[in-house]
Amino acid sequence: MFTFGFANTEHGFDPLALLLVALLLDGYLGETKFPFRLFRHPVEMIGMLIDWFDRKLNRANRSTVDRAFRGALVVFIIVSFTSIIGWGSSWLTQNHDFGWVLELFILTAMLAGRGLYDSVRAVGIGLEESLEKGREAVSHIVGRAPKHLDKHGVARAAIESCAENFSDGLVAPVFWYVLFGLPGLLAYKAVNTMDSMIGHMTPKYRAFGMTAARLDDVLNLIPARLSGLFLVLAATVTPSAHPVKALKIMLRDSGKHRSMNAGWPEGAAAGALNIALAGPRRYQESITDDPWLGDGTARTGVKDIRNMLYLYVTAALINGAWVAALAVIRLN
């Protein structure tokens, strides 16, 4: 683990121990609203900065090359800024008795494990009551047009979001924190936020968001495959799940996904639950005719959402277990 020698200082607080505490707090508290009534969430502040640069630099009258250069400059500035903030917070952790409080707060805020669980569970609860409530709940976690989804489409969207965001919201932040501490985590979250805001293949963002989108692909390359592996392992202890199918479908169908990374956790989930994911989808501005992942049924429902949540929680525990194993090795 590269933390600039922080763990060896006089007031050193081992980053892996801090990460384990943050994972426990995230699992118990989820998206706690109270602190962010007083000030903005760190991701929201990053988003405001991205939006400001977007309005100032991404103008239609500029050439494609100019917009691409400006977009790359924005990525460099924001990643550098967030890395410096992370470095400063880590320095406080290791050089002041209570400096770790700030890093723990930021670290916990950057994890989205419990928040994802609650959001996907809300879709299942809503879908049990009515299709409209299911559509309303799923609209908060997917980019497609919910009004065009039937009950099976709503369930598939929730399951796909759970699988994909398991990587983006939990595995990847943990992975980059383990490698580079808080600077690595904040840099990753900055790139991931930029990708979600400007990394679109639309006339407005194709050039300006190109660097953000490609860098996000690179940063998620390993975490996405780890996420798929964790879901396969989770299937071995999940009732009615199919670990062999999970591995088979992940390896066979991950390349069919339009994203070079999302197909790994989604393929593993499709195989584990014996369902079909992805396929043709309608977004706000377009319709995609993507291939299906998996050999099972596409007529998913509330039961499949529950099975996915069980699989997800188990995989999240595995994600925490490898951090704990590293901590034990480090202490010994």
Q: What is the pLDDT along the chain (332 residues), one digit of tens a residue?
A: 444 444 454 555 788 999 999 999 999 887 765 565 666 788 889 999 999 999 999 988 899 999 999 999 999 999 999 999 999 998 988 888 788 888 998 999 999 999 999 999 999 999 999 999 999 999 888 877 778 788 999 999 999 999 999 999 999 999 999 999 999 999 999 999 999 999 888 889 999 999 999 999 999 999 999 999 999 999 999 988 999 999 999 999 999 988 899 999 999 999 999 999 988 776 655 567 789 999 999 999 999 999 999 999 999 999 999 999 998 888 77
Which of 307, 249, 306, 257 is closest to 281 using CA atoms?
257
pTM score of the predicted model = 0.91
Please indicate, yes or no, if residue 49 is contained in any of the structural domains: yes
Check residue 144 and give left, alpha or beta (phi > 0: left; psi -120 to 50: alpha).
Answer: beta
Please indicate, yes or no, if residue 113 is contained in any of the structural domains: yes
Which of 12, 323, 43, 84 is closest to 168 using CA atoms?
43
How confident is the model at residue 6, as a pLDDT? 45
Check residue 288 and give left, alpha or beta (phi > 0: left; psi -120 to 50: alpha).
Answer: beta
Please indicate, yes or no, if residue 3 is contained in any of the structural domains: no
Please indicate, yes or no, if residue 161 is contained in any of the structural domains: yes
How confident is the model at residue 2, as a pLDDT? 47
Cβ contact 293:277 at 8 Å: yes
Tell me the residue range of the domain where 253 lies.
10-331
> What radius of gyration, in Å, describes the C-alpha atoms of the chain?
20
Please indicate, yes or no, if residue 246 is contained in any of the structural domains: yes
Please indicate, yes or no, if residue 115 is contained in any of the structural domains: yes
Q: Say how far apart CA 274 and CA 115 lie, in whole Å.
A: 25
How confident is the model at residue 313, as a pLDDT? 97
* CA-to-CA dists, residue 206 to 40, 117, 209, 266, 332, angstroms: 29, 32, 6, 25, 49
* CA-to-CA dists, residue 319 to 89, 313, 323, angstroms: 24, 10, 7
**Sign of torsion over alpha carbons 61, 62, 64, 69:** negative
Which pair of tokens denotes residue 105? 């707060």
Please indicate, yes or no, if residue 317 is contained in any of the structural domains: yes
Give me the amino acid identity at 129: E
Which pair of tokens denotes residue 24? 């426990």
Domain count, the chain: 1
164, burial (CB in 10 Å: exposed 0-12, middle 13-18, buried 19+): buried
- Residue 180 CA neighbour count, 13 Å, CB half: 15
How confident is the model at residue 5, as a pLDDT? 43
Which pair of tokens denotes residue 202? 């639309």
Please indicate, yes or no, if residue 97 is contained in any of the structural domains: yes
Cβ contact 145:137 at 8 Å: no
How confident is the model at residue 159, as a pLDDT? 96
